[in-house]
Structure 1
């Protein structure tokens, strides 16, 4: 029978249309239409995975979501233990406790958390795009510290309010950093301008995980009530699982845009042997923990006045420079700047082409630019 047309639903289904006695018939390619099990799996995918999966998302989506789901589950259980401890600390079950005292403690905790959220967004908001992996991992570490403080607080009644307020500040930072870095990762995962769909399905996945955590918590609560030792042991185990899953989650992300860390890794390799690392290799080498060793500070988009103070400085800065930008130093090392210009002239264009061949996105970067821009005036005749 002649095949009139073929169609497919992403990589999940393929069908062909044939004419038989003047009637159009539809036949599944490679199967007879599926089974009940496949139908259930299909429904599950349509509910919890973005439309068009796997073509509509990045290649690291499934691995990241697996580890993210595991860390969310362990965090949900830890949160249950912390919530129980907080409620016990404010006087739930204690006849001598007053509603007013508990309410004041809760309001102070929420108030300090709000202030912490504003301050963190002001101080570190511009770093959340360029350092999404690192900030995501730091946020989860702070989340575990905050929950540990809440569990510890009832055992220190004198400092209870101070401890829960400090934990509230940490949790507010977690809220800002976690939400912002999640948005950055969603942008990376979206391959069909489907950020909203990915975000919505991520919310569905998280809700399902929290529901599972709630069911397990119903079993845990009777066991840990009035048993501080078991509470600490379980929290310690859940925290280890949470941190491990978070580490694996951020390590599984393969971003094709260059931030400062990935650019340094790629550029060092290129200057060493002329080879450009692909996104997979560079992402695996990218540090995801905070560095405490001293590094050379590099700032992009700074004020011209921070680099040039006199006409002599300007002449030295523009020597051998025919570019729209200016490389400068805060000390008198202009000879190094001149050598940098020569190196850029030699390697930049070949390096840029090699980046594109290796699979990097060069149309945008995550290099944490400041907003200062200079417009050079043409010299008068």
Structure 2
């Protein structure tokens, strides 16, 4: 109750004094910081860093897949067919994973957030291997895409519990929406970084692995202080 009173008081004060516009308002929950728990800043900040690293690493993986597809497939129709099969098989893997795990996401959301990051990085590793084994393109690409679907499902399910914990009052939707906005911005920065890096160093596996490491470290730090 005291927290809700504090939020209302802060809102009244803000409405009477805040007349400017800040880009941060697009990324942070309304009435931040009193509308969320203290650990929100650490969570959102490190998730932002992790997302940048993950998106940049994904650029390396995607370019590696394109390279492998070009080495393995000569006809445009065959290339498009392989790409569709890769997506279909990967999505099926995601469905199987969600049916097996089910409600386990709620038991330890911090663990599943980290698992989702590790699985996503594993998909990048497989994509980086693809140019070295063009004959195994479809298998590697399908498994990689399946891991990405698993990562997305694990992250989405576990974040729901974490966001519910971080939100104070009836602002869960706002916290969730602003996290989505943070993800969009960080992904754009990450993709731009990845494109810039690949244009300079090419498909250098060391750089991709360093980005994956940054992704894992950022994810761990983002949830290490959350008690849920």
Runs of 4+ with >3 A deviation: 7-15
| RMSD across aligned positions (CA) | 2.3
Are positions 1:83 and 2:62 aligned together? yes
Match of 2:217 in 1: 244
Task: State the alpha-carbon separation in 2 of the partners of residues 222 and 13 from structure 1.
Answer: 46
Unaligned runs of 5+ in 2: 1-7
Task: State the alpha-carbon separation in 2 of the partners of residues 44 and 176 from structure 1.
Answer: 29
- 1:45-79 Cα distance to aligned partner (Å, 9 max, x none): 32211111112112210011111001000001001
- Measure how far apart 1:214 and its partner are: 3.0
Q: After superposition, where does 1:227-238 map in structure 2 within 5 Å?
A: 228=203, 231-238=204-211
Match of 1:105 in 2: 82
Whichever structure has more helix as a proportion of its residues is 2
Match of 1:152 in 2: 129
Unaligned runs of 5+ in 1: 1-6, 16-27, 256-381
Aligned residue for 2:182, secondary structure, equals: helix
Are positions 1:171 and 2:151 aligned together? no
- 1:292-350 Cα distance to aligned partner (Å, 9 max, x none): xxxxxxxxxxxxxxxxxxxxxxxxxxxxxxxxxxxxxxxxxxxxxxxxxxxxxxxxxxx
8 A Cα contact 1:113 1:165, kept in partner: yes
Change (3 A) 1:11 1:242: farther
Match of 1:9 in 2: 10
Task: State the alpha-carbon separation in 2 of the partners of residues 213 and 78 from structure 1.
Answer: 8
- Measure how far apart 1:236 and its partner are: 1.4
Task: State the alpha-carbon separation in 1 of the partners of residues 75 and 69 from structure 2.
Answer: 9
Match of 2:92 in 1: 115
- Measure how far apart 1:172 and its partner are: 1.4
Whichever structure has more strand as a proportion of its residues is 1
Match of 2:44 in 1: 65
8 A Cα contact 1:128 1:180, kept in partner: yes
- Measure how far apart 1:145 and its partner are: 0.6
- 1:246-298 Cα distance to aligned partner (Å, 9 max, x none): 1111212122xxxxxxxxxxxxxxxxxxxxxxxxxxxxxxxxxxxxxxxxxxx
TM-score by length of 1: 0.54
Are positions 1:215 and 2:189 aligned together? no
- Measure how far apart 1:203 and its partner are: 1.3
Match of 1:137 in 2: 114
Aligned residue for 1:55, secondary structure, equals: coil
